[in-house]
Amino acid sequence: MKIALIAHDKKKEALITFAEEYKDTFKLHDLYATGTTGKRLMEETGLKVHRFKSGPLGGDQEIGSMVANGNIDIIIFFRDPLTAQPHEPDVSALLRLSDVYDVPLATNEGTASAVMHYLNQLDRE
Protein backbone atom coordinates (compact mmCIF):
# COMPACT_ATOMS: atom_id res chain seq x y z
CA MET A 1 0.00 0.00 0.00
CA LYS A 2 0.97 3.62 -0.44
CA ILE A 3 0.95 5.48 2.86
CA ALA A 4 1.28 9.25 3.34
CA LEU A 5 2.84 10.39 6.62
CA ILE A 6 2.41 14.02 7.67
CA ALA A 7 2.90 15.84 10.97
CA HIS A 8 2.63 19.41 12.10
CA ASP A 9 5.74 20.75 13.84
CA LYS A 10 4.58 20.05 17.40
CA LYS A 11 3.57 16.50 16.43
CA LYS A 12 6.70 15.38 14.54
CA GLU A 13 8.25 13.66 17.57
CA ALA A 14 5.03 11.72 18.17
CA LEU A 15 4.94 10.59 14.53
CA ILE A 16 8.57 9.49 14.63
CA THR A 17 7.91 7.48 17.80
CA PHE A 18 4.82 5.99 16.14
CA ALA A 19 6.77 5.10 12.98
CA GLU A 20 9.45 3.42 15.06
CA GLU A 21 6.78 1.38 16.86
CA TYR A 22 5.32 0.18 13.53
CA LYS A 23 8.59 0.14 11.60
CA ASP A 24 8.31 -3.52 10.57
CA THR A 25 4.91 -2.86 9.03
CA PHE A 26 5.94 0.38 7.36
CA LYS A 27 8.90 -1.38 5.72
CA LEU A 28 6.44 -3.48 3.71
CA HIS A 29 4.79 -0.45 2.11
CA ASP A 30 5.59 2.61 0.00
CA LEU A 31 5.90 5.68 2.20
CA TYR A 32 5.38 9.30 1.20
CA ALA A 33 5.78 12.36 3.40
CA THR A 34 5.97 16.11 3.36
CA GLY A 35 9.48 17.61 3.45
CA THR A 36 10.75 17.94 7.00
CA THR A 37 8.63 15.08 8.28
CA GLY A 38 10.03 12.76 5.60
CA LYS A 39 13.59 13.84 6.26
CA ARG A 40 13.29 13.23 9.98
CA LEU A 41 11.56 9.88 9.46
CA MET A 42 14.41 8.69 7.23
CA GLU A 43 17.12 9.99 9.55
CA GLU A 44 15.59 8.75 12.79
CA THR A 45 13.96 5.47 11.75
CA GLY A 46 15.91 4.41 8.67
CA LEU A 47 12.69 3.98 6.70
CA LYS A 48 12.71 4.72 2.98
CA VAL A 49 10.40 7.67 2.34
CA HIS A 50 9.58 9.58 -0.84
CA ARG A 51 9.65 13.23 0.17
CA PHE A 52 7.50 16.03 -1.18
CA LYS A 53 7.82 19.72 -0.43
CA SER A 54 7.17 21.03 3.05
CA GLY A 55 3.45 21.29 3.83
CA PRO A 56 3.31 25.11 3.74
CA LEU A 57 5.24 25.10 0.44
CA GLY A 58 2.82 22.76 -1.34
CA GLY A 59 3.57 19.31 0.10
CA ASP A 60 0.02 18.84 1.37
CA GLN A 61 -1.25 19.69 -2.11
CA GLU A 62 1.19 17.24 -3.71
CA ILE A 63 -0.16 14.47 -1.51
CA GLY A 64 -3.70 15.66 -2.26
CA SER A 65 -2.95 15.27 -5.96
CA MET A 66 -1.86 11.69 -5.35
CA VAL A 67 -5.11 11.06 -3.47
CA ALA A 68 -7.15 12.52 -6.33
CA ASN A 69 -5.30 10.30 -8.82
CA GLY A 70 -5.80 7.12 -6.78
CA ASN A 71 -2.14 6.86 -5.75
CA ILE A 72 -2.46 7.01 -1.94
CA ASP A 73 -4.18 4.30 0.08
CA ILE A 74 -3.82 5.63 3.64
CA ILE A 75 -3.01 9.00 5.20
CA ILE A 76 -1.58 9.29 8.70
CA PHE A 77 -1.57 12.98 9.60
CA PHE A 78 -0.65 13.92 13.15
CA ARG A 79 -2.29 17.33 13.33
CA ASP A 80 -1.81 19.97 15.97
CA PRO A 81 -5.35 21.17 16.68
CA LEU A 82 -4.18 23.82 19.18
CA THR A 83 -1.90 25.82 16.88
CA ALA A 84 -3.06 27.90 13.92
CA GLN A 85 -1.44 26.74 10.69
CA PRO A 86 -0.60 29.25 7.97
CA HIS A 87 -1.48 26.67 5.31
CA GLU A 88 -4.80 25.60 6.87
CA PRO A 89 -6.67 25.86 3.53
CA ASP A 90 -4.27 23.24 2.09
CA VAL A 91 -4.82 21.01 5.11
CA SER A 92 -8.60 21.35 4.76
CA ALA A 93 -8.38 20.49 1.07
CA LEU A 94 -6.39 17.34 1.84
CA LEU A 95 -8.93 16.27 4.46
CA ARG A 96 -11.76 16.90 1.99
CA LEU A 97 -10.03 14.86 -0.72
CA SER A 98 -9.61 11.93 1.66
CA ASP A 99 -13.38 11.99 2.17
CA VAL A 100 -14.18 12.43 -1.52
CA TYR A 101 -11.97 9.52 -2.56
CA ASP A 102 -12.67 7.35 0.51
CA VAL A 103 -9.03 7.22 1.64
CA PRO A 104 -8.61 6.25 5.31
CA LEU A 105 -7.28 9.25 7.25
CA ALA A 106 -5.91 9.07 10.78
CA THR A 107 -5.39 12.46 12.40
CA ASN A 108 -4.31 11.27 15.83
CA GLU A 109 -2.36 8.42 17.37
CA GLY A 110 -5.40 6.45 18.50
CA THR A 111 -6.91 6.30 15.04
CA ALA A 112 -3.50 5.71 13.46
CA SER A 113 -2.99 2.69 15.74
CA ALA A 114 -6.36 1.29 14.66
CA VAL A 115 -5.42 1.77 10.98
CA MET A 116 -2.08 0.05 11.56
CA HIS A 117 -3.79 -2.85 13.33
CA TYR A 118 -6.03 -3.26 10.28
CA LEU A 119 -3.04 -3.00 7.93
CA ASN A 120 -1.20 -5.67 9.93
CA GLN A 121 -4.21 -7.95 9.51
CA LEU A 122 -4.19 -7.39 5.74
CA ASP A 123 -0.45 -8.05 5.58
CA ARG A 124 -0.95 -11.45 7.28
CA GLU A 125 -3.54 -12.59 4.74
User: Per the annotation, does 8 bind a ligand?
Assistant: yes
User: Per the annotation, does 35 bind a ligand?
Assistant: yes
Q: pTM of the prediction?
A: 0.93
pLDDT tens-place string over residues 20-58 = 999 999 999 999 999 999 999 999 999 999 999 988 888
Statement: residue 105 has pLDDT above 90:
yes
Question: What pLDDT score does 123 carry?
Answer: 82
Residue 46 makes CB contacts below 8 A (sequence gap 6+) with 23
Q: Which domain holds residue 109?
A: 2-124
Count H helices, E strands: the chain?
Answer: 6, 5
60, 73, 90, 102: the catalytic one is: 60
CATH code assigned at 53: 3.40.50.1380
* Catalytic residue check, 102: no
Instruction: Say how far residue 94 (Cα) sits from the centre of its chain.
Output: 11
pLDDT tens-place string over residues 62-79 = 999 999 999 999 999 999
Nearest to 9 by CA among 91, 71, 89: 91
User: Per the annotation, does 48 bind a ligand?
Assistant: no
